[in-house]
Homo-oligomer: A and B are copies of this chain.
């Protein structure tokens, strides 16, 4: 991102809002972390709520880019092994990248307090990922790499357990490795059963 004060505020706001929630975040600490005085924040955003809304704008843009267009879908795996390695690559990234972890925490903890967050959560944790993999499986079936089946149901059977384990990673960071192992076991099992 641009290194302007305005965007630095959003980056730091993500950290605080994700860790302490909207109500648990106070502008003095946010300012202090940026080496600013609280009143400086008001030169860039007119209120705490405005910071919050701008942050959600940013997250919405990110998710639109990630889930919105067919172009940004993962390339179709050309074998079952490639589906495994591709998915594991995505998972490892998503589970270790600090910014993405914080984003998920924000979606989780604020989903009942903000309408736009609620929509993002559904898109990210359910429909979005499911649709992506429905398309992937459809292509794999067309290419004869996977058995014929209902691609949407298959995508759901694939993404729901993985998402559950990613949540587990967020909740219990100390079990990261063990859980990633579980994800790999699950995917191999899935491939054996369905593809």
Contacts and interface: CB of A to CB of B under 8 A. Distances in A.
Contact of A111 (B23, B113, B164, B171): B171
Interface string A154-195: 001100110111011011100000000000001001000100
Interface string A95-110: 0000000000100111
Interface stretch (A38-46, A72-80, A119-127, A139-147): A119-127
Give the secondary structure class of A's interface.
Answer: helix
Given A108-B108, A112-B19, A156 B186 contact: yes
A167 B125 contact: yes
Contacts of A66: none
A186 to B, nearest CB: 7
A30 to B, nearest CB: 15
A35 interface: no
A170 B23 CA distance: 21
A118 interface: yes
Contacts of A108: 108-109, 111-112
B112 A105 contact: yes
Contacts of A153: 186, 189
Contact of A118 (B21, B118, B156, B171): B171
Contacts of A113: 20-21, 24, 109
Nearest to A164: B160
Interface of A: 19-21, 23-24, 105, 108-113, 118, 121-122, 125-126, 153, 156-157, 160-161, 163-165, 167-168, 170-172, 186, 189, 193
